[in-house]
Structure 1
Amino acid sequence: MNISDINPIKTAFPPIADEQCTVLLLGTMPGDRSLRLQQYYGHAGNHFWKLIYTLFDQPLEPDYQARKSFLLDHHIALWDVLESCTCEGSLDSNIKNEVVNDFSAFYARYPKIDHVFFDSRKAEEFYLRYVKKSPDKIYHLLPSPSRANASKSFEQKLDAWRELLLYVKG
């Protein structure tokens, strides 16, 4: 057994975005379950999708393609700070050998994005380390929707995530 069997390279998904997006939600890297399903926030214990749908007072849609469309209908882009990394398990604290996504190209392609929300302190940390803040964007930190963030209840997370509604359309 070699080290790559223990800590294989994980590669993030392409962004969910279109030219009408004004808000960007950023995670760090999809967890193991999400990678297996090939879906952002695919772990049933993660509150991300429940938070998004609850914010808009809508029932949670089980279909992943419909979820992606729901984000775009509200001009919300979704991506991860990291393009790839090695990581044992799914915890952000285990991330090593990180490679950041190309945000210069992303922002050039989606110039209407003016608010960036980090969905964890680790996502913010990686972004600040490798990308840096831009004066033409406003940055926000949200509590992680992960079940690993057990210090906050769903209701506490939802209360903090309501800030997103100030900057989205629809």
Structure 2
Amino acid sequence: MKASSSFDPSARAVGFPPIAAPGARILILGSMPGQQSLRDQAYYAHPRNAFWPIMGCLLGFSPDDPYAHRTAMLQQHGIALWDVLQSCIRPGSLDANIDRQQLVCNDFTSFLASHPGITRICCNGAAAHDLFRRHALPALKPPHPWDILRLPSTSPAHAGMSRDAKLQAWRAALS
């Protein structure tokens, strides 16, 4: 979905397909791409989002590398990337503005069945964690063989934690 210069509050934002190799063992979940990401058609496109700098530090690439290289590096390290929501109505980019009555979750049943090596689900922030637990997890048949971790959001809106502290939390979760 291409964003326009003026926001239509009834406009439905539609997310991206997952980035995942067959041997993925970790799934990183955001909530829903922000406006900058939707415009650029790339995960974590906002220049102040710490996701790519953190991944680059942990996986050994530059956050300024081409997007295709960065996503390939995730896949080479067994990391899949997706969002909890397939679509939603949300003015702007803040997760707090997601209309909880108008959201549609991604199909985790099919995704996880086709990626049986996933043993850990890392939620990028409280909103992704809450949305996954409330709206996606109930549709998944037990037993749930994954560790589900809530990590500090890499969003620039989560300024209460330093980038170094975020890096340490993400390092522990991905090791």
Aligned match for 2:21, one of 18, 22, 26: 18
C-alpha separation in 2, matches of 1:78 and 1:11: 16
Matched, 1:129 2:138: no
Is this contact kept in 1: 2:59–2:73, CA < 8 A?
no
- CA drift of 1:156 comes to 1.0
1:105-144 superposed Cα distances (whole Å, 9 cap, x missing partner): 0011111111000001111111111122752111111100
Matched, 1:146 2:155: yes
1:55-112 superposed Cα distances (whole Å, 9 cap, x missing partner): 1344334200001101001010000000000000000000011111010000111111
Cα RMSD after superposing both structures: 1.4
Is this contact kept in 1: 2:9–2:89, CA < 8 A?
no
Aligned residue in 2 for 1:158? 167
Aligned pair count reads 163
Q: What percentage of aligned pairs have identical amino acids? A: 40
Gaps of 5+ in 1: none
C-alpha separation in 2, matches of 1:130 and 1:60: 32
Is this contact kept in 1: 2:15–2:83, CA < 8 A?
yes
Aligned residue in 1 for 2:43? 40
Is this contact kept in 1: 2:30–2:123, CA < 8 A?
yes
Aligned residue in 1 for 2:111? 106
SS at match of 1:6: coil
Q: TM-score, normalised by structure 1?
A: 0.91
Matched, 1:90 2:99: no
Which amino acid in 1 is paired with 2:75? L
Gaps of 5+ in 2: 1-6
Which of 96-105 and 131-140 deviates more?
A: 131-140
